[in-house]
């Protein structure tokens, strides 16, 4: 993938992620099972890094320490767009970054505010991503299904890309 095309794909990823408030964050448990849970992305200016807030005593903290591989999935059925991001994660107690990312929504989960002793950040470094961006709205989806049936090409009206972020 050429540099300009890669840059455009990263911008597209950022736009698709920006439209989804909650992601499904998947880690590997101690017994090797994949475990997914909903998390709100704290910073949506995607540049290869994603940030999530978590509690220090959450099982995902130990899972990340044991195996930092992760997957984050974003889905917007109304926009007919989907993103899957994979890479490595780490848990941080970075007060400057907490200050930068703090939002009123976080207060619900961390009543002690920015200084809540349980508050940690998950910093994820994306290594690869794949996205699907299809037509949205009823008319767009109807056209997509008709064109797919006529051309026998399910990708004819949607954009599907794999982006190497290493």
Cβ contact 18:44 at 8 Å: yes
Give me the number of domains the chain comprises: 1
Q: What is the pTM of this model?
A: 0.82
Higher pLDDT, 75 or 44: 75
Q: In this predicted model, what pLDDT tens digit does every residue of 121-132 receive, in sequence order?
A: 999 999 999 999
Higher pLDDT, 147 or 68: 68
CATH of the domain at 121: 2.30.110.10
CA 45 to chain centre: 11
**Phi-psi bin for 80: left (phi > 0), alpha (psi -120 to 50), beta?**
left
Say how far apart CA 45 and CA 11 lie, in whole Å.
9
- Residue ranges making up the domain that contains 16: 3-164
Residue 135: which pLDDT band, with cuts at 50, 70 and 90? confident
Say how far apart CA 118 and CA 107 lie, in whole Å.
12
Q: In this predicted model, what pLDDT tens digit does every residue of 49-107 receive, in sequence order?
A: 999 999 999 999 999 999 999 999 999 988 899 999 999 999 999 999 999 999 999 99
Residue 9: which pLDDT band, with cuts at 50, 70 and 90? confident
For residue 37, what are its two tokens?
């849970």
pLDDT of residue 10: 86
pLDDT of residue 48: 82
């Amino acid at each position: 993938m050429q540099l300009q095309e890669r840059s455009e794909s990263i911008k597209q990823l950022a736009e698709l992620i920006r439209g989804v408030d909650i992601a499904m964050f998947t880690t590997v448990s101690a017994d090797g099972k994949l475990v997914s849970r909903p998390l709100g992305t704290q910073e949506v200016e995607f540049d290869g890094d994603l940030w999530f807030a978590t509690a220090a005593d959450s099982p995902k903290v130990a899972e990340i320490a044991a195996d930092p591989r992760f997957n984050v999935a974003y889905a917007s059925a109304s926009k007919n767009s989907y993103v899957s991001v994979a890479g490595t994660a780490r848990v941080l107690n970075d007060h400057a970054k907490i200050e930068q990312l703090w939002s009123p929504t976080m207060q619900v989960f961390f009543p002690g505010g920015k200084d809540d002793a349980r508050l940690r950040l998950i910093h994820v470094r994306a290594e690869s991503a794949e996205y699907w961006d299809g037509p949205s709205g009823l008319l767009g989806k109807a056209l997509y299904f008709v064109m797919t049936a006529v051309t026998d090409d399910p990708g004819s009206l949607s954009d599907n890309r794999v982006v190497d972020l290493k």
